[in-house]
């Protein structure tokens, strides 16, 4: 891909600079690429109705073309520009949850190009709860198609520095509004199915979804225990969120310290954990990468992808992370963690040698 001149514009996350937004919106209108913050992670955006612009997203990320994009809108009027056959029941529920970190799979309108939907007859749509994102979409006067603003397979960006590391010279503008609010991507549900199916857990928890949508189907793939065969939305089919270095998930916390002791006899280990779990690790040879506190899993989710990048920056050979309860945002944390490990999941001590050479 040809190198482009990238402008990094700092904006206040709550009161974005109008001039910076107008510069970025002009880029969108002319078919360029803009990185912008959402409440979940940074997105790499283009005009939804410009197929050539959307193709640039895939080239910049090295992303497979059969992996759909999410369309970001700023109003319910824009929803009807990209989706159709939306029942009054679903519309009323959307008015409760939007703006917010929830993406819906809906029947697409013919005007939405195949580059956005990977040729499917559905489209992934959400209304982000971030002032910068909403203002950019509104000023651009078009829905913005955007996946996360990282190179394919790498951890999603929660800071502009992550974006600069991956995409500088490949995008026209980066709107830097500091750290994103949640740190993991939006929840995705398919409401073309009855009952709705969870495709990707996120900040909007299953418990909250059930209060609004009733029954929700949670397949094993949504728990991070495998990939879907067809990608209806991002994060379903391909390796995602992964550090370059080996990552092992110790699902049973009671053996976390013992696994670290075993592995550190042969490898330099980085322990990714909460304050409570890291306290138990006495070895000074182990690199400790803090995720937050067990008392606040939203803090953990906010730090998760940055921790994966810290693992890559460190001198460790292998990262070892412990499991989390699969309730609330804990389900999203486990989905991302299992996928980041390439399903290197340890449930007992014998599992360790399945994933690394210990002898």
**Integer Cα distance of 63 and 238 in angstroms:** 10
Other Cβ atoms within 10 Å of 275 Cβ, number: 14
pTM of the model: 0.93
Q: Which residues contact 251 (CB under 8 A, 6 or more apart)?
A: 322, 323, 345, 346, 347
Place of tokens 């002898």: 359
Taking residue 27's Cβ as centre, other Cβ atoms within 10 Å add up to 22
Rounded to whole angstroms, the Cα distance separating 124 from 223 reads 20
R_g of the chain, CA atoms, integer Å: 20
pLDDT of residue 5: 94
Angle of the 160-167 helix axis to the 297-313 helix axis, nearest 10? 40
Q: What is the pLDDT of residue 234?
A: 62
Identify the residue whose tokens are 């990094």: 8
Q: Decide: 152 and 63 in contact? Cβ < 8 Å.
A: yes
Per the CB < 8 A criterion, the answer to whether 103 and 198 are in contact is no
CB atoms within 10 A of CB 200: 25
Count other Cβ atoms within 10 Å, centred on residue 220.
8
- The 8-class DSSP code of residue 296 comes to B
Measured CA to CA, the distance from residue 51 to residue 115 in angstroms comes to 6
> How confident is the model at residue 231, as a pLDDT?
60
Output the tens digit of pLDDT for each of the chain's 359 residues: 678 999 999 999 999 999 999 999 999 999 999 999 999 999 999 999 999 999 999 999 998 888 899 999 999 999 999 999 999 999 999 999 999 999 999 999 999 999 999 999 999 999 999 999 999 999 999 999 999 999 988 999 999 999 999 999 999 999 999 999 999 999 999 999 999 999 999 999 999 999 999 999 999 988 988 877 666 666 555 566 789 999 999 999 999 999 999 999 999 999 999 999 999 998 889 999 999 999 999 999 999 999 999 999 999 999 999 999 999 999 999 999 999 999 999 999 999 999 988 86
Q: Are 69 and 57 in contact (CB under 8 A)?
A: yes
Note whether 276 and 337 are within 8 A (CB).
Answer: no
Name residues whose C-beta falls within 8 Å of residue 92's C-beta, 6 or more positions apart in sequence: none
pLDDT the model gives residue 283:
84
Candidates 121, 101, 100; CA nearest to 110 is 121
Q: What is the pLDDT of residue 85?
A: 96
CA distance 331 to 54: 31
Residues 6+ apart with CB under 8 A from 283: 260, 261, 264
């Amino acid at each position: 891909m040809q190198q482009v001149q990238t402008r990094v514009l700092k904006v206040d996350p709550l009161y974005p600079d109008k001039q910076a937004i107008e510069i970025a919106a002009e880029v969108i209108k002319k078919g360029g690429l803009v990185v912008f913050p959402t409440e979940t992670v940074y997105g790499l955006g283009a005009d939804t109705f410009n197929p050539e612009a959307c193709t640039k997203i895939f080239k910049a990320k090295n992303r497979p073309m059969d992996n759909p994009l999410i369309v970001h809108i700023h109003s319910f009027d824009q929803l009807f520009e990209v989706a159709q056959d939306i029942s009054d029941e679903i519309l009323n529920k959307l008015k409760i949850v939007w703006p917010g970190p929830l993406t819906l799979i809906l029947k697409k309108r013919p005007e939405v190009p195949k580059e956005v939907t990977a040729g499917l007859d559905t489209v992934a749509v959400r209304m982000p709860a971030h002032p910068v994102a909403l203002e950019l979409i509104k000023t651009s006067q078009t829905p913005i198609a955007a996946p996360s603003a990282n190179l394919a397979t790498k951890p999603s960006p929660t800071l502009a520095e992550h974006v600069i590391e991956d995409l500088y010279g490949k995008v026209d503008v980066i709107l830097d509004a500091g750290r994103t609010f949640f740190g993991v991507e939006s929840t995705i549900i398919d409401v073309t199915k009855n009952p709705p199916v969870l495709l990707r857990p996120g900040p909007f928890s299953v418990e909250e979804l059930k209060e609004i949508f009733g029954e929700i189907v949670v397949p094993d793939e949504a728990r991070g225990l495998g990939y879907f065969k067809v990608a209806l939305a991002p994060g379903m089919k391909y390796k995602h969120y992964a550090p370059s270095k080996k990552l092992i998930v110790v699902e049973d916390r009671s053996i976390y310290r013992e696994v670290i002791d075993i592995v550190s006899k042969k490898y330099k280990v980085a322990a990714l954990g909460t304050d409570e779990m890291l306290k138990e690790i006495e070895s000074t040879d182990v690199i400790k990468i803090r995720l937050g506190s067990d008392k606040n899993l939203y803090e953990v989710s906010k730090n998760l992808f940055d921790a994966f990048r810290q693992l890559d920056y460190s001198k460790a050979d292998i990262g070892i992370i412990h499991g989390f309860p699969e309730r609330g945002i804990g389900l999203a944390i486990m989905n991302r963690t299992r996928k980041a490990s390439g399903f290197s999941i340890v449930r007992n001590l014998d599992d360790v040698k399945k994933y690394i050479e210990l002898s």
